[in-house]
Amino acid sequence: MSAAARPELALRLPTWRSSLVLALLLLWFAGLAGRALYLQGLNNDFLRQQGESRHSRVIELTATRGKIVDRNNEALAISTPVESVAASPADVRIGAEQLERLARLLEMDAAELNRRLDDNRREFVYLKRQLPPEEAARVVALGIPGIFLQREYRRYYPAGEVMAHLIGFTDIDGKGQEALELAFEPLLAGRPGSRRVIKDRRGSIVEDVESVRAPQNGQTVKLSIDTRIQYLAYRELKAAVAAHRAAAGGIVVLDVASGEVLAMANVPAFNPNNRGKLDAKRTRNRAITDLFEPGSTLKPFTAAAALDAGMLRPESVIQTAPGPLVIGDRVINDVQPLGALTVSQVIQKSSNIGTAKIALGLKAETLWNLFHGVGFGTPPRSGFPGEGSGKLRAHASWRPIEQATMSYGHGISVSLLQLARAYQIFATDGELKAVSLMRREAPAETVEVISSATARAVRAMLEAAVQPAGTAARAQITGYRVAGKTGTARKIENGSYSANKHISSFVGFAPASSPRLIVVVMIDEPSAGQYYGGKVAAPVFAQVMAGALRLMAVPYDAPMDNVVLPPPDAPEVKEEV
């Protein structure tokens, strides 16, 4: 049936309605065209910004950390390029199978890896830091969009454990954490730069747009250390600690002329190239941070104070008989009766009673002035982090027994570096120089602490201490005259001195005719039967000093048959405080 036969089926719309709909459609199309013209022709900044926000990145340009080298430009710490795996979560496109393969390559939990990749709030995230090149290549071979390699630098230490305590180490971001890496952080770190790049959907850089800031690489730091002497010192120290079954040991080699530290080693050590399991007890530089009672190595300073004050002369006689020296409720002993001794013999035989009597004849202030003058009780200002100051109480509070015991190294604490520095006054004409861990380009300033006459007199006493009648015959060196002093101090445990735990030490210099090097050795808790400084520490000194002098081509000052050891049946010259 047609619409004409059924009028009710015919639909008639008003003509104005179709005109209105057509007009609205035309206006809508005109609006779209106008907007497109505005955005693409007149104001295209918006679209460019949106595009760049998805593909333009400002990336950091890592500054290369500065090298640390020894005095002869041998590398001690260098930065080597490595690759780290990173991701741009918003650009990552990864399937379940690829996720599992990537997790296995990175040795990560798949769920943890997925959590990092799903964090779209971050434009950049590390997945694994500092991979070997072959592992990084396998990750790239997966071809996962949004995952890429980031060039970084890993710190490498060619000398390993030999220099570990001195150089220290950095963290994974290349920031100094210990020792000189930390001390010189401002010089070594440099300043990172940045550049703007265009990346594709795989995270690869397709266009280098502009350099925002150029990186400034770190500076090279030249130390005073001589690597040859450092290896020698570490080797001999390690052997001695093992041979005497000691808890620890330390050694410092100091240049008399410049005050520069040529070697500094500690045992036990650690490998800074493998920091997976670091023991905090092994990382501290004991030679600078740890303090100990120096024992008899302080006796020459007491003698120097008396000589410089004009109270005694080297040949003045001190009576140590009939034996124990009683001061209040305390008793001072010598290991063996020594009778009447000259001041020189007090040092040579290391008499506690003789040294105490010399000290008690001085004003407390006189002794304190010398101890303070050589740097005891104040940090050595080497620039090393955490260096110890030691303990030296004000002289006004000293009791007689304290003045007596301090004269032979009890009741006062020092570091190895402090002790090495203090012995400069005997190796020179009474002058003291500041110590340095960096190579000096200009002479160090000096301070006169004692007179040249006093310095030469004590030097002769120290040379006698190394002869067969002294406590340190094993410190003698073929072809060189040696001067030095032993120390055998009991350790403090729970507020009192231990009966069987000792610190064995030796400080000396050579050639005695014109001193060039000072070497100080400390062996902590030797437990293999011997504990006297003359038998435990002095031989280490002899080996290191002999090798160092030859490496430096220092002329001999004695005949080649100068070493004379005591006869086998001769009584041992003992000391203990």
CA distance 284 to 480: 34
Report how far residue 562's alpha carbon sits from residue 486's, in angstroms, rounded to the nearest whole number: 20
Give the whole-angstrom CA distance, residue 268 versus residue 203.
Answer: 47
Question: Which of 424, 416, 471 shows the shortest CA–CA distance to 294?
Answer: 416
Query: Is 296 a catalytic site residue?
Result: yes
CA distances from 284 to 48, 262, 267, 269 (A): 55, 19, 10, 9
Torsion of CA 380, 383, 387, 393, to 10 degrees: 30
CA distance 410 to 406: 5
Question: CA dihedral in degrees (353, 358, 364, 365; nearest 10)?
Answer: -140
Beta bridge partners of 252: 264, 520
- Reduced to 3 states, what is the DSSP secondary structure of residue 199? strand
> Rounded to whole angstroms, what are the CA distances from 530 to 438, 486, 525, 527?
37, 14, 10, 7
Q: Say if CB 409 and CB 376 are below 8 A apart.
A: no
E-state strands within 381-482: 431-433, 446-448
**What gap in Å lies between CA 55 and CA 293, rounded to an integer?**
66
CA distances from 440 to 181, 468, 485 (A): 19, 38, 29
Q: Which amino acid belongs to residue 274? A: N
Which structure tokens are listed for 72?
Answer: 């002869």
Name the helix (H) or strand (E) containing 463. Answer: helix 452-465
Question: What's the CA gap between 531 and 433, in Å, rounded?
Answer: 32
- The vertex-274 CA angle with 269 and 275, nearest 5°, equals 80
DSSP 5-59: T-GGG-----HHHHHHHHHHHHHHHHHHHHHHHIIIII--HHHHHHHHHHHEEEE
Question: For residues 69 and 188, is the Cβ–Cβ distance under 8 A?
Answer: no
> Cα(341)–Cα(365) distance, rounded to whole angstroms?
25
Strand 325-327 and strand 330-332: the pairing is antiparallel
Q: How far is CA 61 from CA 98, 161, 194, in A?
A: 30, 31, 5
Token pair of 421, please? 């520095």
Distances (CA, A) of 36 to 31, 46, 114, 507, 570: 9, 12, 40, 87, 109
- Of the residues 79, 84, 88, 296, only one is catalytic, namely 296
**Which residues are known catalytic residues?**
296
